[in-house]
Amino acid sequence: MATKASPPSSKVATVRRLMRYDQKVFETFERSAQRLGWEPATKDHGIGHLSIKDTLVHILNVHEAWFVAIAQGRWDVFEDPSRRKESINSWSDLARYRRRVWTEVDRFLSGVDERALQRRVKAPWMPGKYTLEDAIFQTTFEQAHHLGEIIAVYWQLERPPPQMMWLPTLLGTRVSVR
C-alpha cells in the first residue's frame, strides 16, 4: 500500500523558491554578460574575483560546493578541473558548467525535506557547524553580494545592469533599475 507524500513544509517551499530565484537571476546576468562580449566580461574590473566571468564561475562554485560536496558528501567535486575559472574559456563552457551545477542543485532539492534542512553540516573553509538551511541562505546571500559587484562594473561601463529584484525576476517582468 503506497502512502501519499505530504506537501513540502513552508521552509522547504521557501528554499526551493530561493533556488529558483538564484537560477533565474544568475542566467539573467550570464545572458547580459554575453551581450557585453567575451573581452569585457573577462577583463579585470577590480572586483572580488576580478572579472565578470570569473565572478559568475565563483557563484556556480559556491552552489556546487554547498549543494553537491557538503550537502551530499561528494567531496570529489573539488577535484574536477572543469569547475575552475581557468577551464572556462567560452560562453559554451560557462553554460555547460551552469547546467551541470543547476541540475545537481535541482536533484538535491527534489528530495529535501524539513529534517534534511535541520541537518548539521560543516564546510572545511568556515569555522563552526550550521544547518543545511543556513548553508542554503549562505549561497543566496553570497550570490547577491557578488552580483552587486557585477552591477558596479555595469555602472562603471555606463551600461544598465541586469535586474535582480525578487518579484520581477520570479514573475518575469521588467522594471527600471535606475
CB 158 within 8 A of CB 170: no
Q: What is the pLDDT of residue 66?
A: 95
- Pick the closest to residue 94 from 59, 65, 43 (CA basis): 59
Q: What is the pLDDT of residue 143?
A: 97
Q: What is the pLDDT of residue 73?
A: 93
Lowest mean pLDDT among 5-9, 97-101, 121-125, 130-134: 5-9
Question: Is the pLDDT score of 1 beyond 50?
Answer: no
Q: Write phi, then psi, for 47 (nearest 5 degrees).
A: -90, 175
Mean pLDDT for all residues in the chain: 92
pLDDT band at residue 15 using 50, 70 and 90 as cut-offs: very high
Could you give the CA distance from residue 70 to residue 88 in angstroms, rounded to a whole number? 23
Q: What is the pLDDT of residue 176?
A: 65
Question: Is the pLDDT score of 9 beyond 70?
Answer: no
20-33 pLDDT, tens digit each: 999 999 999 999 99
Cβ atoms within 10 Å of 92's Cβ, excluding its own: 9
Residues in contact with 50: Cβ distance below 8 Å, sequence separation at least 6, in sequence order? 44
Q: Which residue has the cell 537560477?
A: 23
Query: Quick one: average pLDDT of 42-66?
Result: 97
> Which cell numbers in the block locate residue 157?
561601463
Could you give the CA distance from residue 136 to residue 50 in angstroms, rounded to a whole number? 25
128-161 pLDDT, tens digit each: 999 999 999 999 999 999 999 999 999 999 999 9
CATH number of 10-170: 1.20.120.450
137 exposure class (CB count in 10 Å sphere: 0-12, 13-18, 19+): middle
Residues in contact with 25: Cβ distance below 8 Å, sequence separation at least 6, in sequence order? 143, 147, 162, 163, 164, 169
CB 135 within 8 A of CB 147: no
Query: Quick one: average pLDDT of 49-72?
Result: 97
Query: Quick one: average pLDDT of 87-110?
Result: 97
Q: Which residue has the cell 572586483?
A: 47
